[in-house]
Amino acid sequence: MDLENAKAQMRKGVLEFCILSVLSKGDAYATDLLNKLKESELIVVEGTLYPLLTRQKNAGLLSYRWEESTQGPPRKYYALTDQGREVLKELETSWKKLIEAVDSVTTKI
């Protein structure tokens, strides 16, 4: 088994889940997201976030609008679409199941 690959896949999945989860609590622009994700050490290099956001937007999970900013040029605010909300719900349930499953397996030993 390629451990590094598995870890990267795992982190990527969790990261996508977390982006949706953060956005479900309110619209945000990329830097807000970065700060939240870096706080919890989910993101190592900031660059990771941008391809993921674009991909989720292309998949119809996110939408964005431009908003004027008091400092600097307008910012791109991301918001969950209805489809995104559904995906998030699904992910939340499968995440819970996953945790239960992993817990039950690891604690039995």
Partner 1 sequence: MKKTLQIQIGGRHFHMDEDGYNKLSHYLESLKSHFAKEGESGKEIIEDIEQRIAELLEKKITPSKEAASLDDVNEIIATLGKVEDFIYDEPSSGRHDEGYSDRRDYRRFFRDDENGYIGGVCSGLGEFFDIDPLWIRLAFIALVFLKGLGAIVYIILWIVVPRARSTAEKLQMKGMPVNLTTIKESVNAEYDKVRSSLDGLQNSSAADRTRTAFENIMRAVGLVMVAIIKFIIGTIGVVFLIIGSVFLAVLIMVLLGVSNVFGHMPFWNGVDLPGLSHLFGTPGHYEIAVICLVILVLVPIVVLIYWGIKILFNIKTKHPVLRAFTLTGWILALILFITLIFANSANYAVGATGSKTSAVGTGKSPLHIDVIDNIEDKRITEYRVFDYRFKYSKWDESLYDKVALTIEPSDDKEMHLTVNKQVKNVGIKDSDRYIDRIEYFWNQQDSVVYLNKYFSTDGDDFWMFSEVNVRLRIPEGQEIVISPRICDILESYQYDQYCYDRSLVDQKVVMSPEGNLVPVK
Is residue 79 near partner 1 by the rule CB under 8 A? no
Is residue 35 near partner 1 by the rule CB under 8 A? no
Is residue 65 near partner 1 by the rule CB under 8 A? no
Q: Is 28 helix (H, G, I), strand (E, B) or coil?
A: strand
Encoding tokens for residue 34? Answer: 């970065």
Angle between helices 30-39 and 3-24 (to 10 degrees): 120
Q: Which of 25, 39, 40, 58 binds partner 1 (CB under 8 A)?
A: 58
Q: Which of 5, 40, 70, 104 binds partner 1 (CB under 8 A)?
A: 5
Q: What does the DSSP 8-state code read for residue 107?
A: H
CA distance 108 to 22: 33
Is residue 73 near partner 1 by the rule CB under 8 A? yes
CA distance 85 to 24: 7
Q: How far is the CB of 15 from partner 1 (least distance, A)?
A: 7
Residue ranges that bind partner 1, judged by CB under 8 A = 2, 4-5, 8, 11-12, 15, 30-31, 34, 38, 41, 43-48, 50-55, 58, 72-73, 75-76
